[in-house]
Amino acid sequence: MIGIVGLGRIGLILASAFLNKNFRVVGYDIDPERILENIYSGSVELHPEEIVREIIISSYNKKRFSIRSIDEISSEASDIYNIIVPVNWVGDKPDFESLKRASEAVGDVLSRGDLVIVESSVPPGTTRGLVAKILEKRSGLVAGRDFGLAYSPERVSIGRGFYDLTRNYPKIIAGIDNYSLEIVSLIYSEISEKGVLRASSLEVAEFEKLAEGIYRDVNIALANSLAEIARRIGLDFWEIRELANSQPYSHIHTPGVGVGGVCLPYYPKFLLWYLSSVGEGKCWCGELIALAREINTDQPRRVVDLVLEGSKIIGIEDLYRSKVCVLGLSYRGDIPDTRESPTYHISRELVSRGFSEIVIHDPFVARDDFLEKIGVSLTSDLRECLSNSKIIISATDHGVYKDLSTNHIKHLSGEKKILIIDGRNIIKYSSESDDSRKCLYGGIGKKWMWC
C-alpha cells in the first residue's frame, strides 16, 4: 500500500496515477475533511483535471483509496511513503514547516524495510540534510540501511498533470543508496510510460528540478526585456518573437505582466539560498538568475507605469478616480489558481498610487480575502467589470478573453476615452473606428496604437 502525504493538486495526481495502475493508496492530509467533502459532492473543486477527479472518486467508492488526517498516520497502512507537501518561500528563506511535519509523521511510524520518496521541489541537500535526519531521529532507524530514501521531483503542469506524469515525460529518480534506487525505479516504471531516468545523487535530482524552473524564469525575464526594448523603439515584440521562433533553435518565451504560481518565483530563490548557505552567496554565478527574478518581480509595477504613460497620451481627466478593470486574477489562463498572481501586485500598485476604483474580473475565482482587504472588488461578470471603465488591463490569458476586441471593449465600457493595456497579448486590436470615442491600445511589447 502506498501512502501519499499531502493531498494537494499534485498529491492527488500522484494518487490517481498509482490507483490507475491498481495500487492501493492511502492519502494523508492536514485537512482531510475538505477533500472528503469534494469527493462526496463530486465538486470540480476536488481537482481541475477530470481524469483525476474520476479516478479519485471511483477508487474512493471502491475502497481502494482512503483518506486520513496526517495525525492518524499508522505503520500498518503503508510501506511506501510519498511526501508531496508544499515548500514555499516566506520572507527571505524556504519554509520547511510542512515538510518537517510530514517527515515527523512518517518518521513516527516508519518500519524497517519501508521506503520514503520525497517529491516536493526543494533546495539541493534537503532530502539528505533535513528529511533523512528527521526520519532517523523519529524512527531510530538509519536511512540507506534500515529504510530506503529516494527523491523524485514532480514535473507536472496542473491542467494536464496526470498525462505529464503517466505519459509525457520520464520520471526522474534518485536514491540514498542502490536499494532505494532500485525500488523507486520499479514503482515508477509502473506508472510512467516513458520510464525512469536515474540521477546519480539525491542532490542532482533536487537541482535538476530547480534548473527546469530557472530556465523558464530567466527566459521570461529575457522575453520581458526584449519586449520592452521593442516597445521603446516602436516595434511589436509579438511579431518579432513569432518570426524568431520559426527556426528550431530559438525558444523565446512569452513576456507578460509577471510570473505567478509557487514554482517559477520560488525555485531561483531556493537555489540562490542554498548557494549562500554553503558560503558561495557572492559568486558571480548567482547574478543572472537573481537579476532575472528581479525583472519578473518588477513587471506588475511596469504595467502600472504603462497605465500612466498611456493616460497622458490620451489625456484622461481625473485619472485616479477613473474605474480600472483588470482582466484575470489566476496566475495562468483557465485554471482557478491565484497563488503569487501578478494581479495582486498590479492591484496593490494601483491602490498605492491612488487609484480608487479597481475591479478585477475572473471567471474562476469567487472571492478573495487579499483583494477585499485592500478595497479592490472582484466579479465574475465581465460586463460589470468593463462597464464605465476607462482603463482596462489584461493580466491573465483566460480563454474567455480571446474573443474580446478593442471594439467590444469600447462598446462595453461606454466611456469617451478608453485606455487598454494588453498585458497578455490576448485582446484583438481593431483599427481606429470613426466614432466619437477615443481609444488607445498598448501593452507589454506593444507600441501605442489608436483603436
Tell whether residue 273 is a contact of a copy of itself (CB under 8 A).
no
Question: According to CB under 8 A, which one of 62, 63, 247, 373 is a site residue for a copy of itself?
Answer: 247
What separation in angstroms does the CA of 203 have from each of 19, 36, 209, 348?
Answer: 29, 36, 10, 38
Q: Does 308 bind a copy of itself (CB under 8 A)?
A: no
Q: Which of 197, 335, 351, 449 binds a copy of itself (CB under 8 A)?
A: 197
Spell out the long-range contacts of 365-370 with Cβ–Cβ below 8 A and sequence spacing 24 or more. Answer: 365/329, 365/330, 365/336, 365/338, 368/329, 368/338, 370/344
Three-point CA angle 98, 104, 110, nearest 5°: 135
CB burial string 383-409: b at 16+ within 10 A, e below = eebbeebbbbbbbbbbebbeebebbeb
Residue nearer to a copy of itself on the CB measure, 271 or 316: 271
- Do residues 347 and 378 lie in contact, with contact meaning Cβ atoms separated by under 8 Å? no
Q: How many CB atoms lie within 10 A of CB 302?
A: 19
Nearest distance from residue 221's CB to a copy of itself, in Å? 6
Cα 282 to Cα 90, 209, 211, 259, 290: the distances in Å are 22, 23, 19, 25, 12
Give, for 418, the enclosing helix (H) or strand (E).
strand 417-422
Smallest distance from the beta carbon of 123 to a copy of itself, in angstroms? 10
Stretch that binds a copy of itself, among 237-245, 258-266, 351-359, 361-369 (CB under 8 A): 237-245
Q: Is 62 in the site for a copy of itself (CB under 8 A)?
A: no
Among 244, 262, 314, 335, binds a copy of itself (CB under 8 A): 244
DSSP three-state, residue 49 = coil
Judged by beta carbon, residue 271 or residue 307, the one nearer a copy of itself is: 271
How many Cβ atoms sit within 10 Å of the Cβ of residue 239?
Answer: 12
Q: With CB under 8 A as the rule, give the number of residues binding a copy of itself.
A: 65
Q: Which of 225, 254, 276, 407 binds a copy of itself (CB under 8 A)?
A: 225
282 is catalytic: no
- Residue 209 annotated in active site: yes
Nearer to a copy of itself, 297 or 388 (CB): 297
3-class DSSP assignment, residue 110: coil
Q: Which of 263, 325, 439, 451 is catalytic?
A: 263
- Nearest approach, Cβ of 304 to a copy of itself (angstroms)? 15
Residue listed under C-alpha cell 483566460: 398
199 binds a copy of itself (CB under 8 A): yes
| 66 contacts 42 by C-beta, under 8 angstroms | no
* Catalytic residue set: 209, 263
Which residues contact a copy of itself by CB under 8 A?
124-125, 155, 168-170, 172, 197, 199-201, 203-205, 207-209, 211-212, 214-216, 218-219, 221-222, 224-226, 228-230, 232-236, 239-241, 243-244, 246-252, 271, 274-275, 278, 280, 283-289, 291-292, 295, 298
